[in-house]
Chains A and B, each alone.
Chain A
Amino acid sequence: MPTSDEDNRLEAALAPFFDAARRQEFAPSADLMARVLEDAEAAQARCAAAATRPVAPRAGLWVRIRQGLGGWPAIAGLGVAGLAGVWIGLALPEVLPGLAPAAGDYVVDIAPDLALETGGGF
C-alpha cells in the first residue's frame, strides 16, 4: 500500500485526467430523453389511476359477524341449536324422571368419611 505522501502524489498526477473526464459530458440523445420522459408520464398515469380507483365501503359490524360465522345457513343452525338447548333444559325433569336414584338402588359410597360431614342419606 502506498504511503500517504506517495498517494497524494499519485492523486495530484491523476487530477488532470479526472478533470478531463468531468469535462467530457455524456450528452443524452433526444431519443433517450424522450423515452425517459415517456416512462415518467406513464408512471404518473399509473399512480393517478391507482389513487382514483374506487374503494369498496367497509362492511358494517353485523355484516362482518354474519360473514365470520359462515352466513345465514350457519346462523340458522346456531339458532336452532340454541333453542333446542333451552327446551331440553326446561323439560329435563319431566322427561327423564328415572335418572333420580330410586329406593333400593345399589349405591357404592366411595368416600364414606365425607359422607359423615354431609350427613347424607346414602
Chain B
Amino acid sequence: MTMPLDASSDLSDEDLLDAFARGDRAAARVLTLRLTPRVLAHAGRLLGNRAEAEEVAQEAMLRLWRQAPNWRAGEARVTTWLYRVVANLCIDRQRRARGGTVALDAVPEPPDPAPDVPGRMQDRARAEALQAALAQLPARQRQAVVLRHIEGCANPEIAGIMDTTVEAVESLTTRGRRALTQALAARKEELGYADE
C-alpha cells in the first residue's frame, strides 16, 4: 500500500492527495514537506507576521487533509485550492484585527544560501521593503500582486483563486504595481531601485 516516496517525488500533488485519502502515510509526509513551506510563505506574504502565518498554514493544511476523501480529480489544482483557502483565512484574520500594523521584525528571517554578503543584505533589504509596501495595499491588490509576481501564477489561475475575472486581476495587479512603485520610490537609491 505504501509507496516509496520522498519530498522530491515526481507524483503530482493531486496524485499524492489521492494516495493520502487511501491511507498512504508516506503521501502524508511528502505533501506536508512539499506544501507546508509554500502555504506558510503565501500566508506570510499576505499577513506579514510569522506567528499568524504559521497558524494559518496549519489550518489550511488541516482543511486539505479533511477535504482529501472528497477531492474530485481534475477539478482544481491542490495549490490553487490552498491559495484560496489561505487567502480566505488571512482575510478573516485581518477583518478581526483591523487597524493592526505590520511588524517588520515579525517577517520571517531569510535563509542563508546566498554566496555574497552584500548581495544577501541587499536581497533582504529589498524583500523587507517590498513586504512593508505590500502591507499598505488593499487586501485584494496585495493578494493579486503576490500571486502574480511572487507565487508566479497566471492571470486565469489568479482569477479562479480570487473568484473574479481575468480583467479584474489585470486591473488589480496594475494598480498594485503602481502603488508599490510609489511606496518604494522614497528608498530607490538605498535599494538600487531604478524606475527611470
Interface residues of A (CB under 8 A from B): 1-2, 7, 9-11, 13-14, 16-18, 20-29, 32-33, 35-37, 39-41, 43-44, 47-48
B84 touches A (CB below 8 Å):
no
Contacts of B23 in A (CB 8 A): 44, 47-48
Interface residues of B (CB under 8 A from A): 20-21, 23, 25, 28-29, 31-33, 36-37, 40-41, 44-45, 50, 53-54, 57-58, 61-62, 65-66, 68-69, 108, 110-111, 114, 122-124, 126-127, 129-131, 149-150, 152, 171, 174-175, 177-178, 180-181, 184, 191-195
Residue of B nearest to A13 (CB): B195
A17 touches B130 (CB 8 A): yes
Residue of B nearest to A39 (CB): B62
- Tell me the bound Cα distance from A16 to B188 in angstroms: 12
| 12 residue pairs from A and B, CB less than 8 Å apart | A10-B195, A16-B126, A17-B129, A20-B123, A20-B126, A21-B130, A23-B123, A26-B41, A28-B36, A28-B54, A35-B58, A40-B65
